[in-house]
Amino acid sequence: MATTMTRKQVRHYNLPGHAHELTFSCYHKRPFLAKDRTRQWLVQAMDQARRKREFDLLAFVIMPEHVHLIVQPRGNDYDVAWYLKSIKQSVSKKAGNWLKAHYPDQHEVLCNAAGQFCFWQPGGGYDRNIKTPVVLNKMIAYIHHNPVRRGLVQRAADWKWSSAGWYENETGVLAMDALPG
């Protein structure tokens, strides 16, 4: 008896005026984002995607094996999936090329049955619509606290790969856009 695996589908509710808390993970929850090089690729991809796809980036945290983003579309006609695709494809391509050039034997290990390099967990991750400023502020605090809960730093603002430092003193690896309202 053959079994088939079904891929979990995320439903994006692209509703005008809503911010989105997005979470996505590395393939099999491996710590592919543990190196500064890969984190910097992700920061660059987030910055490019927000310009190209017309999203404001309100908050983020990059953990070793997953990412949290809070984004706000600038227009009424948008698709969160476009934004995610822009980010994830860019990072996956850079990581795959780097791995192939430096560790070709490892590159093959991280390919699926079709021979495609796997950096991200398949599927759309998690998408939560944020409708109110109160919930938005709670979600920003929640994602910023991830490195503290994990024991990576004592204070959220000390985690370089997050927007927490920017909110505290407007310094960090990536400037945030203004919060709505």
Cα–Cα distance, 152 to 39 (Å, whole number): 15
Give yes or no for residue 115 having a pLDDT over 90. no
pLDDT band for position 77 (50/70/90)? confident
Q: What is the mean pLDDT of residues 153-160?
A: 96
Instruction: Supply the pTM of this predicted model.
Output: 0.88
Cα–Cα distance, 39 to 82 (Å, whole number): 20
Which candidate, 66, 68, 70, places its Cα nearest to that of 120? Answer: 66
Give yes or no for residue 178 having a pLDDT over 80. yes
Alpha helices in the chain (DSSP H): 36-52, 80-102, 104-109, 133-144, 146-149, 164-169
Of residues 53 and 112, the one with the higher pLDDT is 53
Residue 71 near residue 22 (C-beta atoms within 8 A): yes
Percentage of residues in the chain with pLDDT exceeding 90?
61
Hey, is 134 helix, strand or coil? helix
Give yes or no for residue 23 having a pLDDT over 60. yes
Give yes or no for residue 16 having a pLDDT over 80. no
